[in-house]
Amino acid sequence: MSKPPLKSVEEKTRVVLAVFRGDVTIAEAARREGMSETSIVKWRDRFLDGGQASITAGGRVGGSSRAA
């Protein structure tokens, strides 16, 4: 059994946002992308973790644009 092709960050984000909007279910997204449902769930969870980290840091993950 071969591994599914690697997806870019942009592709993963597009899929996760479609799931959040309710455009597709996780099962539908997995089928369309040729990925497992587990992979889509992991992408979603990592996306949410990143957002939570940003809020926890006061929205300053990666530094301030004003400092630049």
Delimit the domains of the chain by residue range.
9-56
Whose structure tokens read 């979603």? 44
Residues 31 and 25: their CA atoms lie apart, in Å, by 10
Mean pLDDT across the chain: 87
Q: Token pair for residue 4?
A: 């599914």
pLDDT in tens, 25-53: 999 999 999 999 999 999 999 999 999 99
Residues 62 and 24: their CA atoms lie apart, in Å, by 31
Residues 39 and 8: their CA atoms lie apart, in Å, by 13
Q: Token pair for residue 63?
A: 């530094």
Q: Give me the count of residues in the chain.
A: 68
Question: In the prediction, which pLDDT does 32 show?
Answer: 96
**Is the whole model's pTM more than 0.75, yes or no?**
no
Closest of 1, 2, 5 to residue 34, by C-alpha: 5
